[in-house]
Structure 1
């Protein structure tokens, strides 16, 4: 095997060319990664030239280059934010101590677990989305899908770098395992449940990138507080790219809603059957998709009470969202937090030690952030003069993890009987018929500037290019 030119093939700011041990480890891993991409990356895309953004530095003024590239030739780089001189650990039992530049022995297993779990989500989403290019609603959207895919791949590289650099043989084995698990595989699935769900259509993709990539934002923000400085610096740069993924989701759903509202006003009807007959997605179906993706995503934050979350915080491994802006003592040993419980068939709140409730703290921060985008979608509907509002369901709705797992709760927060759930679940979650209808709309549109009937064009193109720019060259 020929040697890899790291300055050419892997943009980085971690001095790869000076670390022979790390270089050899990555030389061994890279061909396996490329084989994984060949097997599980976007289907049928290997010869396309795609107008992609490639990270080349951490300079806020010029961290990326745009240009055409074949995705198997994409330069998956490794970047850490610049070190912060004299950085201290600012929460937990090590508050005020110098941030760690090497892995503390007593925290080795937990740090590795955190990095592996985060790393596992990155290839999982590529696997979930690998067939979507075959049904893209436009070249613009196809390019955005591919941009999300290559950046998820780069985020995998970011985590694998940490595993190889700091965890020796264990890290190398974990890095190999990241390429062996498969989303939805019965025998060797991905670690987290939401990353084993299918992403069968573009409405699901937009909901996923809005809701589930937003979970990624909050998890990365919590890890960016870590006392393990290389992890904090790595995740801070990953957040730069994650913002585009959430934009794809929010704008994508917004464009679906825009087109639906246009058709509703043209036909002067809010009858879902008539709206569907016109070839667009009715608003109640959009609500059911929203309910599903929101509820599956908030389970990603874990159980509402977790000794692991307490350990990660007290150990200085994983902080809270915007830890530095909080005004408490950043140790939390005497603090409490309100979580939900079910007593006599009703949802009630109870106080629990905050250290054990940190998953719930992060989940509540996430929910507040998610509501903002849904309100922006509602403004599109209001502007069209249509009396309909999308709502974020109650956080106890359709939960599978923690105290609320298995309890039947309606989207408006009522505990309901099994009978009522079974009677009304078709109003609340996508049905097989909903999914079949949405799938029936998924015809491929690839002529520049053309869009499928069910989605409105974007307001502007990528990187100041026109909307009808040739974002993908099919060879």
Structure 2
């Protein structure tokens, strides 16, 4: 399953064997490149030390080297096809997976692919100007790596739309380039992808929390009975892991530098000393975590139930679950607000699939808290960072009309308004963080608000010249 880079569009799906599809994608390609030029990274570069996929197998799938950004080879890559893959869940469990789209599921599958595809260019747009304030060349390189891979993930969804959904699919593929993050007239579909990413702390939080949501959404689509979608998402998850690595280690380094400044100056208020106070970091966690929870949708969802029953979208690690994978007789407990208290309610398991996926995500996010608190503990700082209650600051689902404190207490609107600036980033917080965002482009140097990484990329040292600026 090696990738053919001699083609105009690199691929491992034999585009040359389908001239109509090849011409359609080649006609979309200039629009994509124009979008990248106008909405992609704003910092001009000569070249960047990037990884490029060369194979989709389990070993040796990427190579590293300096590449001119405008010459990066985006393409279409699907994971290897299983010899006898079977549908793992739903009414058609045990039957062969589909290589074409069943007519009765056409609209639903197209919608799932469009929503996933819409998130990919959105994050590039949100991060367009971040390079202008990069804390080091190492971080600038990581930003660009995330950006080019989000661009390739857009290609992944566009390929499916062109290859399997006819004229409607081609029109949807065009629309993916016409919507823009935060645009008043034509915004991105999901709210989190219309938020600003104005600083590097926000970027690290986004890549930890929001890209982690992407991991779980891709994981459910990887289970799909529609085999091309499954294989596409399986490969995307390889690349997505780096995006979460950037977020995880980025927050590691912010917390480590804050702890260092706290010890050095014997104060929690490291702002005057060029750091980001732990209270501010906590408020950024509260915001990005709560916004990302909204991406899971309502706790009870007939759409999610229908997708599962039809075989379109499974659960996280479906085949590791110890049940019948049909769920018609199963139940689950979901959150409920009743008589002024947060409690739980038993509902059919099929209706609680969004809740199930969100719970998997929450457990995963907790690992970050443990990691960052270990950084504080090792630094001798007697403080901890926490995740807020799942009902905190929500705009989607059960808690959308509720006011819930980070500790999980129901409040009145007046109580919420009086306290929210102590729980969410205030204008003062944002102004301070932005004031620290000054570019450091000298190899081996780094901004004063963040610690250097423990390791470089692909065995290179931290002071390697990861980016050659124009």
Which residue is 1:164 aligned to?
162
**8 A contact 1:201–1:442 mirrored in 2:** yes
Partner SS for 1:359: helix
Structure 2, unpaired ranges of 5+: none
**8 A contact 2:9–2:26 mirrored in 1:** no
Higher mean C-alpha displacement, 380-389 vs 58-67: 58-67
**8 A contact 1:76–1:154 mirrored in 2:** yes
**8 A contact 1:394–1:410 mirrored in 2:** yes
Higher mean C-alpha displacement, 8-17 vs 315-324: 8-17
Normalising by structure 2, report the TM-score. Answer: 0.98
How does 1:112-151 map onto structure 2 within 5 Å? 112-151=110-149
Which residue is 1:22 aligned to?
21
Post-superposition shift, 1:12? 1.5
Partner SS for 1:405: helix
**8 A contact 1:250–1:373 mirrored in 2:** yes
**8 A contact 2:85–2:96 mirrored in 1:** yes
- 1:249 aligned to 242, 247, 250, which one? 247
**8 A contact 2:57–2:80 mirrored in 1:** no
Which residue is 1:282 aligned to?
277
Q: Does 1:357 find its partner at 2:352?
A: yes
Which residue is 1:400 aligned to?
395
Q: Does 1:334 find its partner at 2:317?
A: no
Higher mean C-alpha displacement, 465-474 vs 11-20: 11-20
Runs of 4+ in 1 over 4 A off after TM superposition: none
Q: Does 1:375 find its partner at 2:370?
A: yes
Partner SS for 2:458: helix
CA distance in 1, matches of 2:33, 2:27: 11
Post-superposition shift, 1:292? 0.2
Post-superposition shift, 1:8? 4.2
Q: Does 1:472 find its partner at 2:467?
A: yes
Q: Does 1:386 find its partner at 2:381?
A: yes
CA distance in 2, matches of 1:151, 1:30: 16
Post-superposition shift, 1:59? 2.2
How does 1:74-473 map onto structure 2 within 5 Å? 74-270=72-268, 272=269, 275-473=270-468
CA distance in 2, matches of 1:255, 1:164: 42
CA offset digits 1:25-48 (Å, max 9, x no partner):
011100000000011000133x43
Post-superposition shift, 1:9? 4.1
**8 A contact 2:204–2:248 mirrored in 1:** yes
Post-superposition shift, 1:339? 1.1
Post-superposition shift, 1:419? 2.1
CA distance in 2, matches of 1:298, 1:403: 12
Which residue is 1:38 aligned to?
37
Partner SS for 1:54: strand
**8 A contact 1:12–1:57 mirrored in 2:** no
CA offset digits 1:385-407 (Å, max 9, x no partner):
11110001110111101111020
How many residues matched? 467
Post-superposition shift, 1:468? 0.2
Structure 1, unpaired ranges of 5+: none
CA distance in 2, matches of 1:473, 1:8: 27
Post-superposition shift, 1:338? 1.1
Normalising by structure 1, report the TM-score. Answer: 0.97
Post-superposition shift, 1:262? 0.5
CA distance in 2, matches of 1:171, 1:7: 27
CA distance in 2, matches of 1:248, 1:79: 23
